[in-house]
Amino acid sequence: MNRNLLIILALFATVFAAWPLLAFAGDPLAGAENCRACHPAQYEAWKTGPHGRAKDTLPPEQRKDSRCIGCHSPSQRDGVEQVQCEHCHGNGRYYTKDFIMRDKMLAEAVGLKARDFTTCLQCHQGDTSSIMPFDAKTAWTRLPHSRTGGK
């Protein structure tokens, strides 16, 4: 067998072996639009709920303040604003594939976070600029998208 053919075969074998990993390349944040296909009821409830409108609740001058944006739009960039599904449920690029989502243990192994109140406390604790005190534990039970049930 000639040397060039061996090189081509080795290159092909390397690319073929790495092909499944290419599904995980790129930005780890998929964005809420990608969740919509499998979770339409949760998406619609999120979009009109407090997390889907979090940045919009800020006055214009606070939309550029890192102290505010850190919670109201933590991954702010083109097309990915507000509090996305993944800010609570983990970076979705690694678990949104159908074959992964059908296996809960695998999905959690690659980043899907289970529902956990402590995640809420990353933003919902301590002093806020709100006049009314915020009771995160009570608010968690009233999240509109959590009442739609799972898929």
Q: List the chain domain ranges.
A: 30-148
User: Are residues 82 and 53 in contact, defined by beta-carbon separation less than 8 angstroms?
Assistant: yes
Task: Quickly state the pLDDT bin for 41 (edges 50, 70, 90).
Answer: very high
pTM over cut 0.85: no
The tokens describing 59, both together, are 């006055």
User: Helix count (H) and strand count (E) of the chain?
Assistant: 9, 0
Return the pLDDT at 54: 92
Distance CA 113, CA 92 (A): 10
pLDDT of 40 strictly over 90? yes
The tokens describing 83, both together, are 């509090």
Contacts of 26 (CB under 8 A, 6+ apart): 93
Distance CA 118, CA 77 (A): 26
What percentage of residues in the chain have a pLDDT greater than 90? 21
Distances (CA, A) of 8 to 17, 20, 72: 14, 20, 50
User: Are residues 93 and 30 in contact, defined by beta-carbon separation less than 8 angstroms?
Assistant: yes
pLDDT in tens, 77-136: 656 789 999 888 988 888 888 899 899 999 999 999 877 778 888 888 766 666 566 777
Return the pLDDT at 10: 73
Task: Quickly state the pLDDT bin for 70 (edges 50, 70, 90).
Answer: confident
Distance CA 125, CA 138 (A): 13
Q: Which amino acid makes up residue 61?
A: E
**Structural fold of domain 30-148:** Flavocytochrome C3; Chain A, domain 2 (1.10.1130)
